[in-house]
Amino acid sequence: MNLQTFPSPAITDIETLELAMYRAMLLARRLDERMWALNRQGHGHFAVSCAGHEATGAGYAFALDVTRDYLAPQHRDLSALLVWGLTPRDVLCHYLGKAADPAGAGRQMYAHWGSRRLRIYSLSSVMSGHVPHAVGIALASKYRREDTVTWCGFGDGSSSKGDVHESMNFAAIHKLPVVFCCENNGFAISVPQSKQMAVENVADRAAGYGFPGVVVDGMNPLAVYETARAAIERARRGDGPTLIEAKVYRYLPHTSNDDDTRYRTREEVERARERDPLKTFRAQLYAEQLLDEKSETALENEIRAAVDDAADFALNAPELSAADTFKQVYGDGSG
């Protein structure tokens, strides 16, 4: 990996990168906690947690060029979306379905990300429905001779669907500038990986399409960054797709409507907490003397203030007006 250059113009050295990654991961975790608290207070009908996926999101988002690349994210990619330019206010307006929601002005379920301005492709409630669309974006990039890459994330459960196989096959044939990233947290709601597929690694499937498949520790943001960087450079060179499989763990239930005690033990969840990327990366930053008690307190305070501000803003933000119900649905082109 060439550490002399960084895709993000705001990053010029590895120390700044590490701190920016940690900040994005911590902000995502604190926003996530606030959403679950709001949910229990009767605000927001449906929470989808990013807890456990933050390192993957922060790792890959910094490897892309946020000024021109396209994002078709996995639904748990909050940290990536914060790097990409969504603000905490955007996130909580999306969560509460307010008119200021960038993903659809209050018409989308939470974690169905989207922003025309930021080139974030809208997620479908039909799992992996966005994967063929991401490949279509990559085809358009190639056709227009744009120097852009599309990042496409999905889960292990989603990876078993036919449209994912068709997308990978098509992208391989046409050597499209797309990176596929399976965020494997071991479960599709309550269904464990062993009941979804007979292979150990989703990445093994890449050989069947004719492009590289790489397994990476999705709880380590620098490992994800390095792997993503190589795949993105390959796509930009015109050599075609890569399938990255980021091994992660989902700490909370599938959504706020799920009861995970019915399909996994508390011991398993506690054991996985030892690998919590917030904990391990924080320890690394302390060891590297990039973080100490004083700077960590300042960071936590800054993040708490941003989350408080976003919650006040979103709770008081206007709802979608009845008169605007069909706007953007029947295509007036303003969305």
Ligand X SMILES: Cc1ncc(C[n+]2csc(CCOP(=O)(O)OP(=O)(O)O)c2C)c(N)n1
254 is catalytic: yes
CB of 79 to ligand X, least distance (A): 14
- Identity of the residue, 141 or 159, whose beta carbon is nearer to ligand X in the bound complex: 159
Q: Are 245 and 202 in contact (CB under 8 A)?
A: yes
76 binding ligand X? (CB under 6 A) = yes
- Identity of the residue, 108 or 158, whose beta carbon is nearer to ligand X in the bound complex: 158
Distance CA 79, CA 81 (A): 5
- Tokens 């000024």 sit on residue: 67
Nearest to 79 by CA among 93, 101, 108, 59: 59
220 binding ligand X? (CB under 6 A) = no
199 binding ligand X? (CB under 6 A) = no
Amino acid identity, residue 238? G
Q: Residues 3, 126, 199, 305: which binds ligand X (CB under 6 A)?
A: 126
Q: Are strands 191-192 and 187-188 parallel, antiparallel or unpaired?
A: antiparallel
**Integer angstrom CA distances of residue 111 from 74, 255, 319:** 9, 10, 18
Query: Residues 18 to 57: which contact ligand X by CB under 6 A?
Result: none
Q: Are 224 and 55 in contact (CB under 8 A)?
A: yes
Q: Residues 56, 148, 150, 158: which binds ligand X (CB under 6 A)?
A: 158
- Identity of the residue, 44 or 177, whose beta carbon is nearer to ligand X in the bound complex: 44
86 binding ligand X? (CB under 6 A) = no
Among residues 107, 263, 264, 282, the one annotated as catalytic is 263
Phi-psi category of residue 259: left, alpha or beta, with phi > 0 → left and psi -120 to 50 → alpha: beta
- Identity of the residue, 125 or 301, whose beta carbon is nearer to ligand X in the bound complex: 125
Q: Residues 44, 52, 104, 157: which binds ligand X (CB under 6 A)?
A: 157
Distance CA 148, CA 10 (A): 19
Using Cβ positions, the residue closest to ligand X within the complex turns out to be 155
Q: Residues 18, 54, 77, 156: which binds ligand X (CB under 6 A)?
A: 156
Nearest to 282 by CA among 292, 272, 294: 292
112 binding ligand X? (CB under 6 A) = no
Among residues 29, 89, 130, 250, the one annotated as catalytic is 250
251 is catalytic: no
Distance CA 185, CA 196 (A): 12
**Angle between helix 54-61 and 277-287 (nearest 10):** 60
250 is catalytic: yes
Q: Residues 185, 220, 227, 256: which binds ligand X (CB under 6 A)?
A: 185
CB of 157 to ligand X, least distance (A): 3
Residues carrying an active site annotation: 250, 254, 263
